A and B are shown apart, each in its own frame.
Chain A
Amino acid sequence: MARGLIRRLVFGLIAIAGVIVLAFLLEFVVPGDPARAIAPRATSLQVLANIRAQLHLNQPLIVQFAGYFGNLLRGNLGTSYIQHQPVAAVIGPRLLTTGVLALAGVVAEVIIGGSLGILAALYSRVRALIGAVNLTLLAVPIFVLGLLLLLLFGFKLGIAPVSGGAGPAELVLPALTLGLIGAPWYAQIVADQMQESLASSYVRTAVSKGLPDSYILRRHVLRNVLSPAITMVGLDLGSYLSGVVTVEVVFVWPGIGLLAVNSLHNLDRPIVMGTVIVGAVAVVFFNLVADVLRMFVDPRTREEP
């Protein structure tokens, strides 16, 4: 069990390193000169050259990368080109804001999707209807849904704020958007698992033992549904933390996604790298957490393969 976790952790670290290398290389493919983005509009070539020298931009790629990676290993993410603050100080609060949204989004999708899935599994009459709802939600692009919700609740009904921000009132619509977009996946997986479980031999055993239906659902069915749902929550938390760009842009939610987009425009490479690294770490970390949780829920995953 411990060995399996360590192996997964090592693979995760390798994956993170791979992401860092790839992101670093990609930034040099992006056209544009950071020095021009930093300097005022009409600047002499000498000033630009000074900026480049200051940021080591005139050195070979491999040297720049070695310098960056060396700093990274020492826990130094660098300094923002534009805001002249340590990257960690810029990203930190943004990560928290995105974390709140990611968590609220996952809670929303688990509640919406889980309920739809359970209803679909238990009542064959609504199964087709829920299938149609799932399909519709899957087909709607996330920004369209976000804008529609904003139009309806923000402008038409006037019960939700439209100005952007990170307060509790501003959280509702973006979280709902994430929840609705993610719900069909949970609905499908929960419905499938649950139907499989309900038709299983062990549920028949439970019935033959004269256990009440609600008891069978709680003790025998739901525990078997939990395991794949946990895996998906882990994946979602990781990927949402790495930036729910569309939702943050639509609702002007000041999180990591918004930061990454702006920094990419400004060619603020240290910040972009920082957001990429945070995303990669989040994905690996929450996958690992999900694996550990699954071991508690499903004893079969505790055994070494």
Chain B
Amino acid sequence: MTAELAEREPALEVTDLNVRYGRMHAVRDACLIVPAGRVVTLIGETGSGKSSLALAAARLLPSSATITGRVAIAGRDTSGLGSGEFRRVRASLLGCIAQDAMAALNPVVPVGRQVGELFTQHAGMSRQQAREAAVAALAQVEIRHPAAVARLYPHQLSGGMRQRVMIAMAVALSPPLIVADEPTTALDVSTQAEILALIGELRGRMRSGFLWITHDMGVVAELADWAAVMYAGRIVEQGPVETIFDAPAHPYTEGLLRTRRDLRSGPVGAPLFQIPGSPPSPGEEPAGCAFAPRCSRATQVCAEVDPGLEPVRRDVGEGGSFGHVAACHHPVGRSAGASSGLAQGRSVEGQRP
């Protein structure tokens, strides 16, 4: 990865990003890099700030949000651009894939036109040329009979087809960055797999960087190169996806993984693991680590001093992965293994079906 980083500008570089809605601090001091041709995933619960971070990078937040920090897309600092200036370049810098394609497509405009307007507005094409280009773009995302589909309206398409149309719009102008907000959540499992395969294929072909928001760890494992875990507005851990999966350092990440492991391969009927407690409410600004009240590894220092992101050092054996960082005073060590801080976590009454 290091070689590629040097070879090309990162698709997205976010430095010290803060997002506030009035007094609510939705994203705190986030730093994140999406290298070209890579998939970086943002994992977190609802309200963790993952969508705010991604939408701030894509400049899609409402004007009520205050954003500070630096955002650079393909080496270009966009935080300094005026809104009109940014509008003109945005489609060539980034594409967006929304979660619910049904809502994200205009119900009264044929999908071919919705793809085609990118070409008339940004590539200076005539309507006839744009129509042909739109059909070609639909074919790119493996829609069969693209010319016929182009004339249809969103409600006449299946969920998978609609998401393909969304993807076709996002990649139409081959932008270096693509922001995807849980694009497979609304789909059934087999369609989900098709869409993931399509995105994997497009990534290889286009060399765009993907910022992928999700709470589904399964998607992360399949597609992502890099994972960043968010909790209460902060990136609490990030690193190569295998490292995050195999050797999480932050107790919160470990808890997330454990919940998923129980769900997938735990004995039938056994209680599911659940992280005790709930995240701090949006207005709260805890003095120390935001996760401390829910963490069994927490000590006095966790409640008082906010831990910064530090490179993860392992107790024994290898020195950890390059770039793996976590914000924790008492990171989960490799040697600690399963008997980690969350081992005493309360179990849920609910049973697996």
Contact of A210 among B91, B107, B108 (CB under 8 A): B91
- Is the CB–CB distance between A212 and B108 below 8 Å? no
**49-66 of chain B: CB within 8 A of chain A:** 58, 60
Point out the residues of chain A lying under 8 angstroms from B100, CB to CB: 201
**61-95 of chain A: CB within 8 A of chain B:** none
Q: Is B155 an interface residue (CB 8 A)?
A: yes
- Which of B9-17, B116-124, B205-213 participates in binding chain A? B116-124
What sequence of 0s and 1s flags, for each residue 177-221 of chain A, a beta carbon within 8 Å of any chain B beta carbon? 000000000000000000000001110111111111001000110
What sequence of 0s and 1s flags, for each residue 96-111 of chain B, a beta carbon within 8 Å of any chain A beta carbon? 1010100111111100
- Which of B82-90, B195-203, B223-231, B264-272 participates in binding chain A? B82-90
- Is the CB–CB distance between A209 and B118 below 8 Å? yes
Tell me the smallest distance from the CB of A89 to a CB of chain B, in Å.
45
- Is the CB–CB distance between B169 and A299 below 8 Å? no
Point out the residues of chain B lying under 8 angstroms from A206, CB to CB: 106
Point out the residues of chain A lying under 8 angstroms from B118, CB to CB: 209
Size bin of chain A's contact surface: 20 to 34
> Which chain A residues have a beta carbon within 8 Å of chain B's beta carbons?
200-202, 204-212, 215, 219-220, 223-224, 227, 297-300, 303
Point out the residues of chain B lying under 8 angstroms from A298, CB to CB: 107-108
Contact of B105 among A205, A207, A223, A299 (CB under 8 A): A205
Tell me which of A201, A208, A223 has the highest count of chain B C-beta atoms within 10 A of its own C-beta.
Answer: A208
Tell me the smallest distance from the CB of A145 to a CB of chain B, in Å.
36
- Is the CB–CB distance between B89 and A210 below 8 Å? yes
Contact of B90 among A200, A210, A224 (CB under 8 A): A210
User: Would A212 and B87 be within 8 Å (CB), given that A201-B98, A205-B96, A219-B117 are in contact?
Assistant: yes
Q: Is B153 an interface residue (CB 8 A)?
A: yes
Q: Which residue of B lies closest to A215 (CB)?
A: B121
- Is the CB–CB distance between B105 and A219 below 8 Å? no
- Is the CB–CB distance between A210 and B87 below 8 Å? yes
> Which chain B residues have a beta carbon within 8 Å of chain A's beta carbons?
58, 60, 87-92, 94-96, 98, 100, 103-109, 117-118, 121-122, 153, 155-156, 166, 169
Point out the residues of chain A lying under 8 angstroms from B89, CB to CB: 210
Tell me the smallest distance from the CB of A124 to a CB of chain B, in Å.
11
- Is the CB–CB distance between A300 and B155 below 8 Å? yes
Tell me the smallest distance from the CB of B137 to a CB of chain A, in Å.
12
Point out the residues of chain A lying under 8 angstroms from B90, CB to CB: 208-210
Task: Give the interface SS of chain A, mostly helix, strand, loop or mixed.
Answer: helix
Q: Which residue of B lies closest to A298 (CB)?
A: B108
Given contacts A208-B96, A210-B88, 12 further A-B contacts (CB under 8 A): A204-B104, A205-B166, A208-B60, A210-B90, A210-B122, A215-B121, A224-B106, A224-B108, A298-B108, A299-B108, A300-B107, A303-B155
- Is the CB–CB distance between A211 and B121 below 8 Å? yes
Tell me which of B89, B92, B98, B104 has the highest count of chain A C-beta atoms within 10 A of its own C-beta.
Answer: B104
Contact of A209 among B91, B108, B153, B156 (CB under 8 A): B91
> Once bound together, how far apart are the Cα atoms of A204 and B99, in whole Å?
12
Tell me the smallest distance from the CB of A126 to a CB of chain B, in Å.
18
- Is the CB–CB distance between B96 and A300 below 8 Å? no
Tell me the smallest distance from the CB of B180 to a CB of chain A, in Å.
12
Q: Lowest 6 CB-CB distances: which A-B pairs, in order?
A: A210-B91, A201-B103, A208-B96, A210-B90, A202-B106, A299-B153
- Is the CB–CB distance between A211 and B117 below 8 Å? yes
Point out the residues of chain B lying under 8 angstroms from A299, CB to CB: 107-108, 153, 155-156
- Is the CB–CB distance between B153 and A205 below 8 Å? no
Point out the residues of chain A lying under 8 angstroms from B104, CB to CB: 201-202, 204-205
> Once bound together, how far apart are the Cα atoms of A205 and B107, in whole Å?
12
> Once bound together, how far apart are the Cα atoms of A212 and B117, in whole Å?
11
- Is the CB–CB distance between A224 and B96 below 8 Å? no
Point out the residues of chain A lying under 8 angstroms from B109, CB to CB: 219-220, 223
Point out the residues of chain A lying under 8 angstroms from B96, CB to CB: 205, 208
> Once bound together, how far apart are the Cα atoms of A207 and B179, in whole Å?
14
User: Would A224 and B107 be within 8 Å (CB), given that A204-B98, A212-B87, A219-B117 are in contact?
Assistant: yes
User: Would A205 and B98 be within 8 Å (CB), given that A210-B91, A219-B117 are in contact?
Assistant: yes
